[in-house]
Amino acid sequence: MPDQGSMMVSVFDGTRQPISPDIELLIRIRDGFQDERSSKFHRGPNVLFRGLPVFDNFGDNYTVVVSASGFVQAGFFPVKISQGTLQSVSLMLLPPNARFNFDAALLPNLQQTHRQLFDLFVHGAADEQAANERYENLMDVRPEALAALLNITTAMADILMPVGKVLDYFKELIWDETMQQDRFFGFAENRLVEQVKIATAHGTFVPSSTIAHPGATSSFRQAQFGEANVQLSFHEGERRTIDNVDCVKVESDIDYFKDLASHVILEVLPHFFTGGDTDPKRVYALRWIAGQHAGVPEFSPPYTIVAS
């Protein structure tokens, strides 16, 4: 008998809670040779698979895909199976007609629960009322842009730099039409440029192309996850003094894919020809799944995704 391993598949919904056991899940598992090892319906949210062959080569890089009626399927690769080890994979299923629930993201709530985000979002406004008006206008008129803003800033708050975290360096956002569902612009302390370069030397970030970021002088992509990594593009020709601190303009976004080829072929080019943009709902799910697999603190922006 070949060596065998085990896998626990856990399924969650857009509220980051275990999916209802009433939902019938089709779970498909393939090994690294693309041989199907299981394709059956199960009741979740946790399903244990035993007796998965271990090959001690690339065949141990399993693929897991979960689908259910009324949900968009999700999957993960690679799930590394080894003898005598229970490997866990967590996936998130979103409804196709999903909407954002921003109740927790209202500014008065952020002031109590996410003070750093609150301070950043109100900075630069004439007063508290003006800050609230521009924020609620974004929420009402362009909810996808607000979701992207919350995705990216939440991720930044978790990215360790040689000193502090990425979000610590941001002083003020640019509240105009450049705040889109796939990116936003703002001003960060100029020290962030050097911090990212040091982090790049240590493998936390990798240099990236500026082609899709007109005006950027340099660009770096986080290298921690397989998908949904933060990218920082610096526009060093545009500076501003904020709170007596020299700041540089930064373009921030999250890409679906880690490697440049997949990013260009599967993300940039389809958006170019169809006019679409990165979907913040998909980013939300990908970043959450990637974080669960990496064993880091849960990606938990102050909003959830629910059925319309």
Domain spanning 4-92 has what CATH number? 2.60.40.1120
In the chain, list all ranges with CATH 2.60.40.1120.
4-92
Query: Which pLDDT score, from 0 to 100, does residue 277 have?
Result: 72
Q: Is the pLDDT of residue 143 over 80?
A: yes
Are 91 and 66 a contacting pair, CB within 8 Å? Answer: yes
> What's the CA gap between 43 and 100, in Å, rounded?
26
Residues 6+ apart with CB under 8 A from 227: 256, 257, 258, 286, 287, 289, 290
Query: Which pLDDT score, from 0 to 100, does residue 221 have?
Result: 96
Closest CA to 94 of 154, 163, 166, 17: 17
Find the range with the poorest average confidence among 189-193, 291-295, 302-306: 291-295
Q: Is the pLDDT of residue 237 over 50?
A: yes
Mean pLDDT taken over the chain: 92
- Distance of CA 147 to CAs 28, 151, 183, 223, Å? 31, 6, 10, 22
Q: Three-state SS for 133? A: helix
Averaged pLDDT for residues 217-225: 96
In degrees rounded to 5, what are phi and psi of residue 172?
-160, 145
Confidence of residue 256 (pLDDT cuts 50, 70, 90): confident
